[in-house]
Structure 1
Amino acid sequence: MRKKFPTSAELLHQLQTHGKLTLRRSLLLVGLLSLPTIAAQLSYFIMQFIDASMVGHLSTTASASIGLISPVTWLFSGLCTALTVGFSVQMAQRFGAQDDKEARNIMKQGLVVATLFSIVLTVITIALAFVLPTWLGGAAEIRPGSTAYLTFFGASILAIQLTSMGSSMIQSSGNMKLPGAVSVIMCLCDVFFNSLLIFPTTTYTFLGMSIEWPGANMGVAGASLGTGLAELVGAAIYLWYMLARSPLLKRRSGEHVHFNRSTIVTAFKISAPVAIENAVTNSAQVVSTRIIAPLGTMAIAANSFAVTAESICYEPGFGIGTASTTIVGQSIGAKQRDMAKRFAWISIALGMAIMSLGGILMFIFAPQMIGILSPDPKIIEAGSTALRIGAIAEPFFAASIVGSAAIRGAGDTLASSLFNAGTIWIIRVPLAIILCPLMGINGYWLACVIQWWICGILFLWRVKSEVWLKKVKWAN
């Protein structure tokens, strides 16, 4: 009889009980945990791609209004992700130590803190929506769309935060399949809501029958609201599963949330460098948009489409990185130092291989990828050239994405933040200021390539140095 392959749960249990996994089993575990998260990240990319494509077929002005404000939405989304890391890393380590009860308590504390944090971010975002488009240098015709998009985004931050929390907390328990499934559901919901909200009521003819599809004709605002509603669906599913269905996370009779000062302080110690990194990194993206804005509406739209198209290449890297954070965190919780080191390198190698292949495909099919997003020949030409420049750096970009995620599993977030944020401000922004007036958006993308190369090399050095393991005093 053919030998049955072990499941990810069986392999994680072997790791948690201090078993030594062979290289073959280690590779299998990384693969089993990575595939669902890669699927989840790709479905998130598809959601972004759908939004950009739908708006892109409205007008160049509509596309530019989103492109102008996108770095600001990344900034606030990044802060939500940072808070998530502080609690999910602790949960992964508790699961690795087979302390499920404490992991559940950390989950409950995280959900309460996340809700309060999201309310504060919502107020700030909506207030900024009315001033930022002007400060960013957007032309008068694109500012109203930018304001509307950012306002609806701000209203959906709680859903975004709970979706991020739910996905990461469930993954920290070793369940990678549900987040993948939920991402697909959110993608389908995004298409449905966008089709209702972006366009006016339209009559379609199919097999001789006329079908009237209702539409609110909200344009750019409809794209933001549609995505927010899709996030709300995802948040609801995650909360239901965590609190009512998950074998490891669901509520137990007699277990109530106990706010532990040590847990919350540790969460903020882990999250703070990540939050600072995201704030500094995405602030640099905002400044970069300010650098690109004088190049005109077409340049803003082309750059935005190139960023969206490139995400098909790096989303798998983030998926592998998520799996790496979970496995490294559980290895440390199980006091398996050698396993933590092995899983970090396997994850990095896998990420570099997949993103290198993605970079090759992106280079070849760049015009077709941009063409799906916009029918404008000038945007296709400018966007595809920028995309091909970016493709050169994908292996090093992968090293920075996965390397950063791996050492975060050990709680080493400070070095990660310094490398990512530091190289953007010290290398990318100054180079963009110099190169954009000379080369247009191609100058910005060349600055990105140089920054990704250097950042990737720094992370490879950091992982090799093993400083991130030495900081975990109880790992030996």
Structure 2
Amino acid sequence: MVNLSDDLTPKKMRKNILNLAWPAALRMFLQSIVGIVDIMMVGSIGAHALATADVSNRFVFVTIGILSALTMGSTALVARYKGAKDSIKTDNIIIQSLLAGFILSIIVAVLGFIFAKDILNGMMILMDEVDPFILTEGNIYLKIVFTSMIFALPTLMINSILQGLGDMKTPLYIMVLTNIVNVLGNYLFIFGIGFLPQLGVTGAALGTGLGRLVGFLVAIYVLSSKRTVIKIHFDKVKWKLDWDIIKEILNIGVPASVEQLVRQGSQIIYTILVSGLGTITIASNALAMNINSLPMMIGFGFGLAATTLVGQSLGAGKEDLATEYGKQTTYITMIIMTIISIPMFIWVEPIIKLYTTNPEVISLSKPVVRMVITIQPIFAIYIVLVGALRGAGDTRFTMFTTMVGNWTGRLLSSLFFGYVLGLGLIGFWIGMMIDISSRALIVFYRFKSKKWQRIYDRKENISKKAA
């Protein structure tokens, strides 16, 4: 449970933030490390394999982003009712979140498996000639990865519930075990050990699927265990959808999902545009994104902490405390992300060479990676304050901010710098920097206005009038 006492000093608050945030930040950081190791393994096969994994994963990331955003509704509401000490409402939110997660996972797995090849053809529409390696290997990759969504999405939902309750450590343990299995599975299946054949890109998909299966089994065990913060008697629960509660979750979750759809949708367009510049550019872009995710994932961990801190503070009726938790979390995250970025900027070339020995990829990605590392403090402001606004239920504002930023700031800037000025990949990343800087400024002023403090109260009043 988050410390919501009235005698909190800034020093005590920072201690509370770190106690809550470090498991989430470490979880996201380790997840990023695993992603880096995966890309290194795939990259060692060659640039075509690296491009295949990147193009295939773009659509997977869209799906995960949209559906994991729905978990924002669960996290925010669980935190809100936990702070208000309403155990009945908290239990109902948990049950309905789990049901929705299981149903959605099956739908996504089936649709993804059926339309895998069509997705890849759409991703490479601007290529003069579709790379047959990407099309063939990517089709198999997507079918396997989408099938594993049956295990991935319910696990995400369970983690979101735990986070809303203030338990950041258990999701960390689930993630650690999941990713250990993922890395070992990738190594075994990609390169082939003993009786196992060398499967390359397909092996990477199998490793991911195996990790998700193990994570799912552990999450189910946690859910049914009496030792966790989830104290529901599941044998007495009626497993039936309650549309009133689902609607309440969706009121917060849908705008967050639309935000992710817009963001990831623009990322697909972005990848399609990059694909038009060739396989080497795709590989370089994938490498740059992967490296820069390292400090950002720590930011996302603190953003999750901000969601819980703000949600529970507002649930307890302590608006000023919610504001101060948002500020202090932002300060800490900026400092940490800056510290991590300095050695990355200095040793950028040795880091890139861990992924690939291709001189063209190294030359193309080096200035991009170094350029984006310089704005990590701005990323910190944006990521944490968006997390704070989500904890308050202010997901519609962040949705509109993302829509405007991604589809005007990022894409139009990328087209101008990348194609019109002929800067290529660097031009696309200049567009990204313009986008994130603009959104950070907008979100900062939204948080400063404190309008988000009454968002949930207004939603409750509207619901009561409608009833």
TM-score range, shorter chain: over 0.9
Report the equivalent of 1:333. Answer: 315
Report the equivalent of 2:179. Answer: 187
Query: In structure 2, which of residues 78, 88, 93 is the aligned counterpart of residue 91 of structure 1?
Result: 78
Query: In structure 1, which of residues 229, 241, 251 is the aligned counterpart of residue 210 of structure 2?
Result: 229
Cα distance, 1:247 vs structure 2: 4.1
Contact 1:85 1:270 (8 Å CA) reproduced:
yes
Query: In structure 2, which of residues 62, 66, 69 is the aligned counterpart of residue 75 of structure 1?
Result: 62
Cα distance, 1:250 vs structure 2: 3.6
Contact 1:86 1:271 (8 Å CA) reproduced:
yes
Mapped pair 1:450 → 2:431: no
Report the equivalent of 1:65. Answer: 52
Q: Deviations over 1:187-246 (max 9, x none)?
A: 211121112211233xxxxxxxxxxx4433221111122112112211221221122234
Cα distance, 1:289 vs structure 2: 0.8
270-279 or 355-364, which deviates more = 355-364
Q: How far apart are the structure 2 equivalents of 1:143 and 1:179?
A: 35
Report the equivalent of 1:51. Answer: 38
SS in 2 for 1:174: coil
Contact 1:244 1:251 (8 Å CA) reproduced:
no
Cα distance, 1:293 vs structure 2: 0.8
Report the equivalent of 1:245. Answer: 226
Report the equivalent of 2:142. Answer: 150
433-442 or 322-331, which deviates more = 433-442
Report the equivalent of 1:206. Answer: none
Cα distance, 1:309 vs structure 2: 0.8
Displaced runs of 4 or more, over 6 A = none
Q: How far apart are the structure 2 equivalents of 1:246 and 1:287?
A: 46
Query: In structure 1, which of residues 308, 318, 330 is the aligned counterpart of residue 300 of structure 2?
Result: 318
Mapped pair 1:288 → 2:256: no
Matches within 5 A, 1:133-212: 133-137=120-124, 138-201=130-193
Contact 1:186 1:233 (8 Å CA) reproduced:
yes
Report the equivalent of 2:407. Answer: 425
Q: How far apart are the structure 1 equivalents of 2:357 and 2:226?
A: 46
Q: How far apart are the structure 2 equivalents of 1:300 and 1:160?
A: 27
RMSD: 1.8
Matches within 5 A, 1:307-456: 307-437=289-419, 438-456=422-440
Q: Deviations over 1:281-309 (max 9, x none)?
A: 11111101111112111110010011011
Cα distance change of structure 1 residues 186 and 357 upon mapping to structure 2, 3 Å threshold? same
Q: Which amino acid is 2:162 matched to?
A: I
Q: How far apart are the structure 1 equivalents of 2:403 and 2:42?
A: 31
Equivalent pairs counted in the alignment come to 451
Q: How far apart are the structure 2 equivalents of 1:259 and 1:140?
A: 45
Q: Deviations over 1:49-80 (max 9, x none)?
A: 11101111111111011112222111001122
Cα distance, 1:183 vs structure 2: 1.9
Q: Deviations over 1:243-286 (max 9, x none)?
A: 22344314327741464433210111111111111111111111
Contact 2:405 2:435 (8 Å CA) reproduced:
yes
Cα distance, 1:144 vs structure 2: 1.3
Q: How far apart are the structure 1 equivalents of 2:75 and 2:274?
A: 36
SS in 2 for 1:295: coil
Mapped pair 1:473 → 2:460: no
Cα distance, 1:413 vs structure 2: 0.3
Contact 1:172 1:326 (8 Å CA) reproduced:
yes
Contact 1:61 1:297 (8 Å CA) reproduced:
yes
Cα distance change of structure 1 residues 156 and 174 upon mapping to structure 2, 3 Å threshold? same
Cα distance, 1:186 vs structure 2: 1.7
Q: Which amino acid is 1:229 matched to?
A: L
320-329 or 137-146, which deviates more = 137-146
Residue ranges of structure 1 left out of the alignment (5+ in a row)? 1-8, 202-212
Cα distance, 1:418 vs structure 2: 1.3
SS in 2 for 1:439: coil
Q: Which amino acid is 2:93 matched to?
A: I
105-114 or 55-64, which deviates more = 105-114
Cα distance change of structure 1 residues 112 and 473 upon mapping to structure 2, 3 Å threshold? closer
Q: Deviations over 1:391-450 (max 9, x none)?
A: 122121221111111110011101111112320111111111122231121111111111
103-112 or 404-413, which deviates more = 103-112
251-260 or 285-294, which deviates more = 251-260
Cα distance change of structure 1 residues 371 and 253 upon mapping to structure 2, 3 Å threshold? closer
Mapped pair 1:269 → 2:255: no
Contact 1:196 1:214 (8 Å CA) reproduced:
no
Residue ranges of structure 2 left out of the alignment (5+ in a row)? 125-129, 461-467
Q: How far apart are the structure 1 equivalents of 2:396 and 2:176?
A: 33
Contact 1:46 1:187 (8 Å CA) reproduced:
no
Contact 1:72 1:286 (8 Å CA) reproduced:
yes
Cα distance change of structure 1 residues 251 and 473 upon mapping to structure 2, 3 Å threshold? closer
Cα distance, 1:20 vs structure 2: 4.0
Q: How far apart are the structure 1 equivalents of 2:223 and 2:273?
A: 44
